Amino acid sequence: MAHRSPDRHAEDMSTDLPPPGSPPDARQRRGPTPATPGQLAWLGHEVAAWRADGILTDEQATLLLGRYHPVRRLELSRIALWLGAGFVGIGIIWLVAANLDQLPPLARFGAVVLLWLGSVVAAEVLDHRVRTRRSPVVGAARGLAGLLYGAVVMQAAQSLQVPAYDATLVGIWAAGALLYAYAVRGVAPLVVGVLLASGWLLWHTGESLQRQPSFVLALGALAMAGLALGRLHDSAADRAGWSHFGTVWRFLGAVTGLAALFVAALPWGDGDTRYDAWLVGALVVAALLAGAGALRSTGAGRLEAAGGVVILALAMVLTWWSPETPDVGDQISAAAWLHAIVAIVFFVAAAAGVAAIGVLRDEAALTWIGVAALALFTTVQSFAVFAQVITGAWLFVALGLVFAGTGWIADRARREMVEALEGADR
């Protein structure tokens, strides 16, 4: 009697048991592993089946179930810790931006460095003392360390008379946060680094190149890299500690991919694409990651890894093919109608792909992102149609009906997709 375990549960729960008489491993000494009620329900069902099949003894089953304890996805204490760490980090960066005139430059820099190093040391001390894996306290401390590194960068820039409003500083901050995240396998600094790196590339592209096609290329590069890195982390040989990294990168790829199609569908492009070394480098690295992710995956995973490439290709088609936008009150041309229809088809396909990834990876938030993005995109596209024939309050009524109707239809499609894929071989 074979039992197939869902990917997400297999990643989040290790079922390896030590041989009798062996000393407890480091994971057991750190206490039970947090697991959601849904994960524990699945594990309990599987353990009962394994006991019935004679795969596990009663003692082994009890030991296995004792390795986990139930927690909710978002605890109040976790939210409070995240918010607290975020406010402290932003507050210290704000103090640095205010120049701390009461201290000389060297003293200011030394104080900020000490705060940063203190947060790093405190996070690692907590990691060794807290007997819970993925502790929110440790995560908040590491997230604070990632934020305080930005204060160090900003203070160093002030000492060197570098302009504070420069995308380069954000890039240096992002690089440090990402290196720290991978050094300690911390999800919180990874989130900080991913957000900063994305912001840096988009800021630099928008400020330096000032072209819609170039901005779409930057979003597409982030989508390719995010989806590919999500698959690469999932397929890593040592999955302990890396599965959550894959989730973060996958969210980046999904959001930026949908954003690329959204921006490409807007009738603002002129087909003039500019490049620079950073944008070309980002595209090359993203393409290499997509290739590596596809090679190390099979089946649906290979399609997921290459999804960013497809999204970027569709987005650039919409960007380079941009018919003239009529003024309000003018007749919409046939080319504009065709462009809008093609854009909707492309976006529906991309949103459905994101929703499918969410179902396959047991990440409901991805599915809801696809549904919400589809409803918002359809409403924005509908504005170009209704604005020609409806004005005033009735325009908002029509757009509201479109938004609600699209959301309802997309949610029904999501439910059908969940039912269809849950019984399929993943």
Q: What is the pLDDT of residue 229?
A: 92
Give the model's pLDDT for residue 321: 79
**pLDDT value for 246:** 87
Same domain flag for 331 and 217:
yes
Looking at residue 191, what is its pLDDT? 93
**pTM over 0.75, yes/no:** no
Q: Map tokens 């918010």 to a residue.
A: 83
Same domain? For 54 and 170 the reply is no
Last residue of some domain: 169, 190, 208? 208
Q: Do both 395 and 253 map to the same domain?
A: yes
Residues 89 and 220 grouped into a single domain? no
pLDDT at 5: 44
Give pLDDT < 70 ranges for the chain: 1-31, 71-89, 92-103, 130-134, 164, 236-241, 268-271, 323-332, 382-399, 402-403, 406-408, 410-426
Q: Are residues 223 and 348 in the same domain?
A: yes
Check whether residue 66 and residue 170 sit in a common domain.
no
Q: Which of 157, 183, 208 is the last residue of a domain?
A: 208
Say whether both 149 and 231 belong to one domain.
no
In SS3 terms, the chain reads as: CCCCCCHHHHHHCCCCCCCCCCCCCHHHHCCCEEECHHHHHHHHHHHHHHHHCCCCCHHHHHHHHCCEEECCCCCHHHHHHHHHHHHHHHHHHHHHHCCCCCCCHHHHHHHHHHHHHHHHHHHHHHHHHCCCCCCHHHHHHHHHHHHHHHHHHHHHHHHCCCCCCCHHHHHHHHHHHHHHHHHHCCHHHHHHHHHHHHHHHHHHHHHHCCCHHHHHHHHHHHHHHHHHHHHHHHCCCCCCCCHHHHHHHHHHHHHHHHHHHHHHHCCCCCCCCCCCHHHHHHHHHHHHHHHHHHHCCCCHHHHHHHHHHHHHHHHHHHHHCCCCCCCCCCCCCHHHHHHHHHHHHHHHHHHHHHHHHHHHCCCHHHHHHHHHHHHHHHHHHHHHHHCCCCCCHHHHHHHHHHHHHHHHHHHHHHHHHHHHHHCCCC
> Do 271 and 344 belong to one domain?
yes
Residue 377 and residue 258 share a domain:
yes
Domain co-membership, 135 together with 56 = no
**CB-hemisphere CA count at 13 Å for 138?**
17
The pLDDT, as a whole number, for residue 402 is: 66
Decide which of 33, 55, 70 is a domain's last residue: 70
Domain with 165 in it: 75-208
For residue 182, the model assigns a pLDDT of: 92
Residue 296 and residue 197 share a domain = no
- Total domains in the chain come to 3
| 372 in any annotated domain | yes
Tokens of 382: 């509908």
**Cα gap 130→146, rounded to integer Å:** 20
Q: How many CB atoms lie within 10 A of CB 273?
A: 18
* Assigned domain for 2 exists: no
Residue 93's pLDDT is what? 65
Residue with tokens 């988009």: 202
